[in-house]
Amino acid sequence: MDNVFEVLNERGFIKQTTNAEQVARLLGEEQVAYYVGFDPTASSLHVGSLVPIMAMAHLQRAGHKPIAIIGGGTTMIGDPTDKTEMRPMLSLEQISTNSKGILAQLQRYLNLDNGIANNEESQIASKAGRFLNNADWLLSVNYIEFLRDIGKHFRVNEMIQAKGYQQRLDRELGLSFLEFNYQLLQAYDYLCLFQKYACRLQLGGDDQWGNILAGVDLVRRVEGERVHAVTFPLLTTASGAKMGKTAGGAVWLDAERTSPYEFYQYWINVDDRDVSRFLAYFTFLPMDEIRRLGNLEDEAIREAKEVLAYQATKLAHGKAEADKAQAASRAAFGGGNLDEAEMPTTVITSERLDIGIPIMMLFHEVGLANSRSDARRLIQQGGAYINEKQCRAIDMVVDTDLLEENALLLRAGKKRYHRIIIKEN
RNA sequence: GGGGGCAUGCUAGAGCGGUCAAAUAGGGCAGACUGUAAAUCUGUUGGCUAUGCCUACGGUGGUUCGAAUCCAUCUGCCCCCA
């Protein structure tokens, strides 16, 4: 079998490494503890985080030990990397809540058996990966000791070369001292993980390269050991947009924020040019199969998109949800039976419908329009449908006459559906 | 500590006393075309009980018949000097 490093490389996960040969040899010869940091700024990860997650999963499948770090301590400061504004500082409670959500999501992809802030000695022997919060060691740091032991290894001249900082300095955006320290803290994380868990490899987005290298250097200076770094290419879609953004905002891994159906639809709707790359990143399908799918052209490429959507949804939400999403998607767009489809649904009492609901109000209420004015526009422009019939009259009142099998199917534009079910009372 | 500048809609960015719900671009939404793709074209893009009304140009208070536009003050950000 190929070395995991080769697997990752073939799938496009590798952008930069400290030393490709050494990393490959390390991964081929021993069981390596590796880590990736995640931001606890929200209670859910979004599809952008899937690149590191999938890379971790490949490594774990190859027998290496993942360590997922929640940047609880660093988030309390804010990360300047490639951001035009400071990140908000979060409270400990928020971070802890967010961490729980993130852990649950990571566990779908990885075997991480310990909980938050739980780094008992017994678990060091555990085969599963770990989930740690860097607040555990950062919060107790003593400023003077930190400066003496860690700070002395850093040169400001070098630090400000980092791209993220450079931008902030050049563009008059300003850089707070807090944020400037981020690099030291992240480097310190690596050192701690090396000392405690023999972590020898850090992975991260390519924008983190500078920070990761700072950690590699720090370990070398303090411990005299060679540790490694691998970065992932920063994913953008073929049209140049940041990965994982859609009309409605980010595509989350949390089913509460982005339903499995919407998640599935996100993948179905990717740009043709992104399909093979995404298959390599976001599924475990063998590369031969991916190449076959990637060679499909014109309409046939939808088959590849369907595979991508199904596989990605299955990983994130499980087989049952993926099946449902697929069925719903096929129903909505392939002429299948729409009533069977799983889609956002609102229950309305028959009483209300007897009176009649103005169409603008209805579209707004179920969320297909952001306001009544928005609904008005939608209707006027011919984007509103009830039971697949276009409705252009803004003064239309929806009542029981329109019911089909005790339900209504609303549609806004081409892709957004909403079902209304009537409840007797 | 001293001096100067900036703050506008989702974003960037015009406007500098009335004709401003505010140019322009990007983004979003809708329509046409299509393959639930891309590109292109068209329309639209604060809210509402809708030919009108309300809320908006960092906060507050003034000047004025009338302010995003002028003045004062507060807050935040930036630059230069020390």
DSSP A163-221: HHHHHHHHTT----HHHHTHHHHHHHHHHHHHHHH-EEEEEEEGGGHHHHHHHHHHHHH
Of the ranges A92-106, A168-182, A265-279, A289-303, which one carries the lowest mean pLDDT score? A168-182
pLDDT-derived band at A394, boundaries 50, 70, 90: confident
pLDDT above 90 for A68: yes
Contact A186, A101 (CB under 8 A): no
Of the ranges A177-186, A193-202, A253-262, A297-306, which one carries the lowest mean pLDDT score? A177-186
pLDDT above 90 for A309: yes
Our measurement of CA A371 to C1' B48, in angstroms, reads: 10
pLDDT-derived band at A246, boundaries 50, 70, 90: low
Our measurement of CA A163 to C1' B56, in angstroms, reads: 38
Question: Which domains does chain A possess?
Answer: 4-232 (3.40.50.620), 245-336 (1.10.240.10), 345-423 (3.10.290.10)
Strand bridging mode A407-412 / A416-423 = antiparallel
Identify which has the larger pLDDT, A247 or A47: A47
Q: Which nucleotides of B are covered by protein (CB under 7 A)?
A: 28-32, 34-39, 43-50, 77-79
pLDDT above 60 for A402: yes
A241: nearest nucleotide, CA–C1' criterion: B27
Our measurement of CA A174 to C1' B2, in angstroms, reads: 21
A378: nearest nucleotide, CA–C1' criterion: B30
Residue nearest to nucleotide B49 (CA to C1'): A372
Q: How far apart are CA A179 and CA A191, in angstroms?
A: 19
* Long-range pairs, A400-408, Cβ under 8 A, ≥24: A400/A350, A400/A353, A400/A354, A403/A353, A405/A339, A407/A339
Our measurement of CA A87 to C1' B71, in angstroms, reads: 36
Contact A261, A329 (CB under 8 A): yes
Q: How far apart are CA A419 and CA A338, in angstroms?
A: 10
**Residue range A185-203: average pLDDT?**
94
Of the ranges A25-39, A242-256, A281-295, which one carries the lowest mean pLDDT score? A242-256
Our measurement of CA A245 to C1' B11, in angstroms, reads: 15
According to DSSP H, which parts of A3-130 are helical?
Answer: 4-10, 20-29, 50-61, 72-75, 92-109
A369: nearest nucleotide, CA–C1' criterion: B29
Residue nearest to nucleotide B78 (CA to C1'): A172
Query: Considering chain A, what is the average pLDDT of its residues?
Result: 83
The single-letter code of the amino acid at A170 is: D
pLDDT above 80 for A123: no
pLDDT in tens, A55-65: 999 999 999 99
Our measurement of CA A394 to C1' B54, in angstroms, reads: 22
Our measurement of CA A324 to C1' B34, in angstroms, reads: 27
Tokens linked to A141: 């740091």
A274: nearest nucleotide, CA–C1' criterion: B37
A268: nearest nucleotide, CA–C1' criterion: B36
pLDDT-derived band at A241, boundaries 50, 70, 90: low
Report the share of chain A in percent with pLDDT over 70.
84
Q: What is the pLDDT of residue A242?
A: 64
Q: Which residues touch strand B (CB under 7 A)?
A: A 172-174, 239, 246-247, 265, 268-272, 298-299, 301-302, 305, 329-330, 332-334, 360, 364, 370-374, 376-378, 381-383, 412-416
Pick from A259, A269, A196: which is nearest to A237 by CA?
A: A269
CA A161 to chain centre: 29
Token pair 């953004």 is at which residue? A245
Q: State the CB neighbour count (10 A cutoff) for residue A63.
A: 12
Contact A316, A54 (CB under 8 A): no
Our measurement of CA A364 to C1' B75, in angstroms, reads: 37
The residues that bridge with A421 in the sheet, in sequence order, are A347, A407
Q: How far apart are CA A39 and CA A228, in angstroms?
A: 21
The 3-class SS string of A209-224 reads HHHHHHHHHHHHHHHC
**Residue range A2-26: average pLDDT?**
92
Q: What is the pLDDT of residue A344?
A: 79
Identify which has the larger pLDDT, A346 or A200: A200
The single-letter code of the amino acid at A98 is: N
Q: What is the pLDDT of residue A129?
A: 86
Contacts of A44 (CB under 8 A, 6+ apart): A101, A102, A105, A252, A253, A254, A256, A257
Q: What is the pLDDT of residue A235?
A: 77
Contact A266, A316 (CB under 8 A): no
pLDDT above 90 for A189: yes
pLDDT-derived band at A164, boundaries 50, 70, 90: low
The single-letter code of the amino acid at A45 is: L
Our measurement of CA A329 to C1' B32, in angstroms, reads: 24
pLDDT above 60 for A116: no
Identify which has the larger pLDDT, A225 or A90: A225
Our measurement of CA A81 to C1' B1, in angstroms, reads: 33
A84: nearest nucleotide, CA–C1' criterion: B11
A385: nearest nucleotide, CA–C1' criterion: B30
Q: What is the pLDDT of residue A85?
A: 43
A371: nearest nucleotide, CA–C1' criterion: B47
Our measurement of CA A42 to C1' B74, in angstroms, reads: 33
Contact A400, A358 (CB under 8 A): no
A176: nearest nucleotide, CA–C1' criterion: B77
Tokens linked to A282: 């976001």
Our measurement of CA A88 to C1' B57, in angstroms, reads: 25
Our measurement of CA A164 to C1' B81, in angstroms, reads: 28
A246: nearest nucleotide, CA–C1' criterion: B28
